[in-house]
């Protein structure tokens, strides 16, 4: 059997967007992904279908596998012919034992590549607003293990040299040894008033930074109950945080926000929340799938020349309609047919298929379509409405009442997934969620159905509820849920803006 290959990949410090392009390419083609505790789990979603995933994390002395067993695993799997993405937090060659794993691979004759990563030593201080070097402060920096046993008689760290000989000191894995680190630095000449930063979970939305001096940092760390993983930065550059703290100043920093949209549509909204500093928790309460049969939609497309209007009330309706249209012909089949989109996002999806909507109502809901169509003079007009299997009936009913001939066809259906339920229940129970977002009536109903009626109101008490528009808010109200946040325009950017505004004004402190 042909021998496989191992990519030793630096997965970055926590923010999954700090993965390198080369690292991402290796993940996408791997047959097996072996990942550590500090590698972001979200990177696993980029693996190809069918890729095997194995967790080998080490945390606080609790090892899933010993380093020797990890070495044996990747050698064994590579000898089976597999392409392996070995994901290691930060950079594999900076306190990541990547050198040890590479040695084992070289000894076994296994082809490998090293893909460097963004090390926590530079990323965490950067996200805390601390430059490790600055010409007004220092031109020297050192990376040091803080994990060395303080009981060792002969330290491998030259404390007498680094204490005063290096401007900025960055310690990895040093929280448990913080008293010993402080004692040695002061003992060998470092000024007790030297600034110190402790950065926990740097680059992530739950990043926490504690600032002090060598004199008081132990007391401050105890006060804040900091636990690993923490990067320790010692040096005058820490003072620059007062001016350069950018990440923790984002308007939604530190807030976990549940996104209930279907997974296929959640990423854009989650990205908007992320850019404002939030940690989006994707918890889709609906899943969009094809209808049980395409016959209804296909028949309508076969008869498409008989329609004068096509009305799209969702992005999903557009996607599935054009998927079936492209199987039967091309855009020329729609020549002369007018197109209505319920809102700008639906219109953008239509434009992505090469067409421009003729009508977009000023208010993005069915009632506004009815009002706009009333001005068009639609009596006797034939209209096609490709939509979800279950939807509000007001649109076809009112259009028919105005004299239009409306053909409603099922373009897709939604079902209720149940993944991550216990994880979300735990976050709500511990009051870790700042807001829950609903973007349709279905997301509200399905969310509430996932929990016991007796518990759900207690779970969401103190958590802001954000609804995309009045129809969704009305559904929430009918089910006994108040709406705290609703934008004036019913789009994801406007919903994000409304959430930012709400919390900026002190909502749900």
The residues annotated as belonging to the active site are 36, 58, 173
C-alpha span between 206 and 361 (Å, rounded) = 40
Closest-CA residue to 504 (of 204, 249, 242): 249
Q: Are strands 195-200 and 208-213 parallel, antiparallel or unpaired?
A: antiparallel
Q: Are strands 382-388 and 309-312 parallel, antiparallel or unpaired?
A: parallel
User: ∠390-396-400 over CA atoms, to 5°?
Assistant: 155
Q: What is the largest CA-CA distance in the chain?
A: 94
Q: Are strands 433-438 and 256-259 parallel, antiparallel or unpaired?
A: parallel
C-alpha span between 171 and 144 (Å, rounded) = 5
Closest-CA residue to 40 (of 120, 94, 132, 128): 120
User: What contacts 338, CB < 8 A, 6 or more positions away?
Assistant: 308, 309, 310, 358, 359
Tokens of 214: 């060598």
Tokens of 195: 């600034």
Q: Tell me how far CA of residue 127 lies from CA of 170, 252, 337, 449, in angstroms.
A: 14, 15, 52, 40
Which residues are paired to 119 by β-bridges?
none
User: What contacts 292, CB < 8 A, 6 or more positions away?
Assistant: 413
C-alpha span between 213 and 211 (Å, rounded) = 7
C-alpha span between 57 and 45 (Å, rounded) = 18
Question: Helix, strand, coil proportions of the chain in percent (round to 5)?
Answer: 40, 20, 40
C-alpha span between 153 and 143 (Å, rounded) = 22
C-alpha span between 451 and 131 (Å, rounded) = 46
Tokens of 92: 């594999």
Starting at the edge strand that comes first in sequence, how are the strands of the sheet with 382-388 ordered? 287-289, 405-415, 382-388, 309-312, 338-341
C-alpha span between 348 and 206 (Å, rounded) = 34
Q: Is 495 buried (19+), middle (13-18) or exposed (0-12) by CB count in 10 A?
A: buried
Q: Is 262 buried (19+), middle (13-18) or exposed (0-12) by CB count in 10 A?
A: buried
């Amino acid at each position: 059997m042909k021998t496989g290959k191992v990519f030793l990949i630096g997965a970055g410090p926590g923010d999954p967007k700090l993965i390198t392009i080369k690292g991402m390419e290796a993940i996408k083609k791997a047959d097996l992904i072996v990942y550590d505790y500090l590698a972001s789990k979200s990177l696993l979603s980029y693996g190809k279908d069918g890729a095997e995933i194995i967790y080998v994390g080490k945390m606080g002395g609790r090892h899933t596998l010993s380093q020797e067993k990890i070495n044996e695993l990747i050698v064994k799997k590579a000898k089976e012919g597999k392409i392996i993405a070995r994901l290691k937090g930060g950079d594999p060659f900076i306190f990541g034992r990547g050198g040890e794993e590479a040695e084992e691979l070289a000894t076994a004759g296994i082809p490998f590549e090293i893909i460097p990563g963004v090390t926590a030593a530079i990323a965490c201080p950067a996200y805390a607003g601390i430059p490790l070097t600055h010409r007004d402060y220092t031109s020297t920096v050192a990376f040091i293990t803080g994990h060395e046993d303080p009981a060792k008689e002969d330290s491998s760290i030259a404390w007498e040299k680094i204490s005063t000989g290096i401007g900025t000191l960055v310690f990895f894995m040093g929280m448990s040894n913080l008293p010993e680190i402080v004692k040695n630095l002061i003992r060998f000449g470092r000024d007790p008033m030297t600034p110190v930063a402790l950065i926990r979970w740097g680059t992530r939305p739950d990043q926490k930074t504690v600032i002090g001096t060598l004199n008081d940092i132990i007391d401050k760390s105890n006060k804040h109950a900091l636990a690993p993983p923490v990067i320790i930065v010692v040096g005058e550059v820490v003072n620059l945080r007062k001016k350069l703290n950018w990440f923790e100043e984002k308007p939604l920093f530190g807030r976990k926000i549940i996104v209930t949209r279907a997974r296929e549509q959640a990423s854009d909204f989650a990205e908007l929340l992320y850019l404002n500093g939030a940690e989006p928790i994707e918890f889709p309460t609906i899943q969009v799938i094809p209808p049980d049969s395409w016959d209804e939609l296909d028949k309508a497309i076969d008869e498409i020349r008989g329609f004068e209007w096509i009305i799209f009330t969702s992005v999903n309706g557009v996607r599935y309609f054009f998927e079936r249209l492209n199987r039967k012909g091309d855009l020329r089949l729609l020549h002369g047919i007018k197109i209505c989109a319920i809102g700008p996002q639906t219109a953008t999806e239509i434009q992505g298929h090469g067409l421009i909507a003729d009508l977009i109502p000023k208010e993005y809901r069915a009632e506004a379509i009815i009002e706009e169509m009333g001005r068009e003079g639609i009596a006797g007009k034939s209209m096609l409405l490709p939509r979800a299997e279950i939807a509000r009936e007001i649109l076809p009913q009112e259009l028919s009442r105005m004299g239009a001939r409306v053909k409603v066809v099922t373009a897709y259906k939604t079902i209720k997934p149940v993944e991550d339920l216990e994880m979300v229940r735990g976050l709500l129970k511990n009051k870790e969620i700042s807001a829950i977002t609903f973007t349709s009536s279905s997301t509200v109903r399905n969310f509430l159905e996932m929990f016991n009626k007796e518990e759900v109101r207690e779970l969401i008490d103190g958590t802001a509820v954000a609804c995309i528009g009045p129809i969704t808010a009305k559904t929430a109200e009918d089910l006994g849920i108040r709406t705290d946040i609703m934008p004036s325009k019913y789009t994801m950017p406007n919903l994000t803006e409304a959430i930012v505004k709400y919390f900026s004004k002190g909502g749900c402190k």
